[in-house]
């Protein structure tokens, strides 16, 4: 039983803490304020209408009573005293239930009265009127009388006062009152508005919660989809097909899943390619070591096996180094130290450093125009970028009939911005158009388009790439706020261009 209560309490807590419940409460609260304002307006308007109608009836009856009371008044002298007029017999039919009529003397004492209010209440009203006003002009008087021994109920009354004159003297006052709401319409209106508002709020609470729950269903779908996703299965999509904010959220979620799936696919492909690239040299090393260990092998065979093992070891060293570099770049562990750097100096240093390698490959490596181009960058990474591009040019030009690689720099414009441009032009066999968009993908090698022949004496390690150099070049260029462009034609060679923003104040 306690477990059921705990589960029930947990569910209630989940509902109360949910967004749909808070949305419903806000909706009901706003509706309650609107109903309060609307009910207050209706009540005020109805109260004003009742008061005006009651005042009109009271003034009509009061005018007739004034005539009935004033007509019999004569100059009466009895023992030298004036006699106050009495209540006319034909005045009673003018009165309705709740109406009050009285005749008071000039001091406010009630002489005669009829109606549900007591004499004391009428006397207090009259004396209050006489204290506030010292003239005989009739006016409206509003009061809420207290309940007394008569059948009067607590209600608002409208009172009219008029003097009764004998000659030029005021001998008495005629008082008449009528309830503003004799039938209790305002009380019934309050009850109706209260019950109607409560009923409306209850319906709004239920309907609002249902609508909020319905509106939040896509969020539940997104939540369940996110909970069901696994590291190895990112193929699920929402595909809500809505054209509202939640539909936009679902589309964003689907786009995020597409990016995640693409990232996981790249990671799996990256791991598979790295394993494949490492497995080949390891297999070669194992075979060469086994062949060298066979009895009766000559010294020449042993030296040849050691050369192959050394070559494959250098290949794996470069591969692991490039993998470590890319891993640090992707994880944000690579910190660039920006300073003013002459891009032409970096390019010239790269040409001088790789000239021996080009000579061994029988490739003509030359430097073209190298004007001063000051950029803000990390000299070490820029040098690595230049070296990778030159090595790539040498490697894919070695098997061509015309073996030339030229490095040059110069200013250029990109999107109305002055940039510094580094160009590495080779005379290789070129790259087919379908391979151009994949050149900067890791482990991608367009061998079918880029003939990588070896000349005599060329070792395998120097001529075989692993498809990581251009990925590093692209990362370095983007880290410096630039980009890499490539143009190539089969049989005519390839041109790589790296565009980097010039330092502030530098001239192109």
**pLDDT tens, 126-142?**
887 777 665 544 455 55
Q: Tell me 88's DSSP state.
A: P
**Measured between alpha carbons, how far is 32 from 20 in angstroms, rounded to an integer?**
18
**pLDDT tens, 387-402?**
989 988 888 887 777 8
**pLDDT tens, 297-318?**
788 888 888 888 888 888 788 7
* Run of H or E residues at 158: strand 157-166
**How confident is residue 146, by pLDDT bands cut at 50, 70 and 90?**
low
* Run of H or E residues at 347: helix 343-360
Is it the case that residue 143 has pLDDT exceeding 80? Answer: no
Is the Cβ–Cβ distance between 68 and 90 less than 8 Å? yes
Query: pLDDT at position 484, please?
Result: 92
Is it the case that residue 20 has pLDDT exceeding 90? Answer: no
To the nearest whole percent, how much of the chain has pLDDT over 90?
19
Q: What angle do CA 480, 484, 486 make, to 5 degrees?
A: 170
Is it the case that residue 232 has pLDDT exceeding 60? Answer: no
* Mean pLDDT computed over 418-443: 84
Neighbours of 185 (CB within 10 A): 14
The model carries a pTM of: 0.49
**How confident is residue 450, by pLDDT bands cut at 50, 70 and 90?**
very low
To the nearest whole percent, how much of the chain has pLDDT over 70?
80
Q: Show the domains of the chain with their CATH numbers.
A: 1-215 (no CATH), 229-333 (1.10.287.130), 335-501 (3.30.565.10)
Is it the case that residue 344 has pLDDT exceeding 80? Answer: yes
Q: Which of 374, 417, 424, 372 is nearest to 395 (CA)?
A: 424
């Amino acid at each position: 039983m306690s477990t059921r209560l705990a589960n029930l309490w947990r569910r209630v807590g989940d509902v109360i803490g949910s967004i749909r419940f808070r949305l419903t409460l806000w909706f009901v609260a706003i509706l309650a304020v609107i109903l309060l304002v609307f009910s207050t307006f209706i009540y005020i308007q109805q109260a004003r209408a009742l008061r005006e109608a009651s005042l009109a009836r009271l003034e009509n009856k009061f005018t007739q009573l004034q005539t009935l009371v004033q007509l019999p008044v004569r100059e009466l002298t009895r023992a030298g005293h004036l006699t106050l007029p009495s209540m006319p017999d034909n005045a009673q039919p003018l009165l309705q239930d709740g109406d009050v009529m009285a005749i008071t003397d000039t001091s406010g004492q009630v002489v005669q009265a009829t109606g549900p209010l007591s004499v004391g209440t009428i006397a207090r009203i009259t004396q209050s009127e006489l204290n506030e006003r010292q003239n005989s002009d009739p006016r409206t008087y509003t009061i809420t009388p207290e309940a007394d021994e008569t059948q009067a109920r607590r209600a608002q009354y409208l009172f009219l006062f008029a003097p009764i004159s004998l000659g030029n003297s005021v001998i008495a006052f005629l008082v008449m009152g009528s309830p503003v709401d004799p039938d209790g319409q305002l009380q019934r209106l309050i009850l109706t508005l209260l019950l109607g508002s409560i009923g409306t709020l209850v319906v709004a609470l239920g309907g609002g919660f249902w609508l909020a729950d319905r509106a939040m269903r896509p969020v539940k779908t997104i939540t369940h989809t996110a909970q069901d996703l696994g590291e190895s299965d990112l193929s699920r999509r929402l595909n809500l097909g809505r054209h509202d904010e939640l539909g936009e959220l679902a589309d964003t979620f689907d786009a995020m899943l597409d990016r995640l799936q693409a990232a996981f696919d790249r990671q799996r492909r990256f791991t598979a390619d790295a394993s494949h690239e490492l497995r080949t040299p390891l297999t070669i090393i194992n075979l060469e070591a086994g062949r060298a260990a066979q009895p009766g092998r000559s010294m020449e065979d042993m030296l040849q096996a050691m050369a192959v093992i050394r070559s494959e070891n250098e290949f794996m060293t470069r591969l692991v180094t490039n993998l470590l570099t890319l891993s640090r770049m992707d994880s944000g562990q690579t910190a660039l130290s920006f300073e003013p750097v002459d891009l032409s100096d970096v390019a010239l240093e790269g040409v001088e450093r790789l000239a021996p390698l080009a000579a061994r490959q029988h490739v003509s490596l030359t430097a073209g125009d190298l004007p001063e181009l000051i950029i803000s960058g990390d000299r070490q990474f820029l040098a690595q970028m230049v070296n990778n591009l030159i090595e790539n040019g040498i490697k894919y030009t070695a098997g061509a009939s015309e073996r030339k690689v030229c490095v040059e720099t110069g200013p250029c414009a990109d999107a109305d911005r002055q940039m510094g441009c580094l160009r590495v032009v080779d005379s290789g066999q070129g790259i087919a158009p379908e391979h151009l968009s994949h050149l900067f993908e890791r482990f991608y090698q367009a061998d079918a388009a880029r003939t990588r022949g070896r000349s005599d004496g060329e070792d395998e390690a120097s001529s075989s790439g692993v498809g990581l150099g251009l990925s590093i070049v692209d990362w370095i260029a983007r880290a410096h706020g630039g980009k890499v462009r490539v143009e190539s034609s089969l049989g005519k060679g390839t041109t790589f261009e790296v565009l980097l923003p010039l330092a502030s104040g530098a001239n192109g």
